[in-house]
Amino acid sequence: MKNNKANGKAKESRELALHYMEALVDVARESFLILDPNLRVVMANQIFYQNFQVSKGATESQLIYELGNGQWNIPELKDFLEDILPNKKAMRDYEVRHVFETIGEKTMVLNARQIDSVQLIILAIEDVTDKKNLEEKLAECAKGLEVKVAERTHDIATRVKELEALNKTMVGRELKMVELKKEIADLKKRVQNGNCKNGNGKNHNGNHKNGR
């Protein structure tokens, strides 16, 4: 008799828990699955059906690995549900990437909690495919930009060296011109001084050599 009452209360608690879970997951933006201890789907929300293009009839009461004609038979998912979750009871941000036959490659972040009191597992599945693709594209762009910056930096460094060499040559030429100008000025002075020493057409008396 006591066992019957205990079983009845457990069933009532489980149904109440399912009622609240259903109310919560129906307004969530993420895909949700409620699983029993044997990893069969008790219920899923509408977002799950939309995102993964499966029907309610082909989902509820099915083993999660058999969903979509076995498309959910994912080794990483098995590790998550059978090895990690039972030990930790709750798990966050577990990333899984898988190629589905109907919807292509998807990157999913799994969050799950095992609720022992009602023998249920709540599994949230966030589709981060677009986000990951964008991150990868941004990483590729950043890498390409780094290459272009490195190439441009090298070009600029080469140009700077060329300009430095040219500037050095020009400075050398300027210095040479200064030296030549100085030499020319010195020669002019020597020429002028030479004229004074050798006479300028007058004798010692100040008279012209050929004049009276």
Quick check: 212 pLDDT over 50? Answer: no
Domain boundary among 127, 145, 176: 127
Chain centroid to CA 10:
49
Q: How confident is the model at residue 205 (pLDDT cuts 50, 70, 90)?
A: low
Q: Are residues 46 and 103 in the same domain?
A: yes
Q: Are residues 159 and 113 in the same domain?
A: no
Mean per-residue pLDDT for 43-58? Answer: 91
Of 53-57, 127-131, 191-195, the least confident = 191-195
Q: Are residues 6 and 67 in the same domain?
A: yes
Total domains in the fold of the chain:
2
Domain boundary among 106, 127, 148: 127
Q: Are residues 110 and 187 in the same domain?
A: no
Is residue 207 in some structural domain? no
- Dump pLDDT digits (tens) for 116-146: 777 889 999 999 998 888 887 888 888 887 8
| Domain span holding position 29 | 2-127
Of 64-68, 74-78, 105-109, 118-122, the least confident = 118-122
Q: How confident is the model at residue 38 (pLDDT cuts 50, 70, 90)?
A: very high
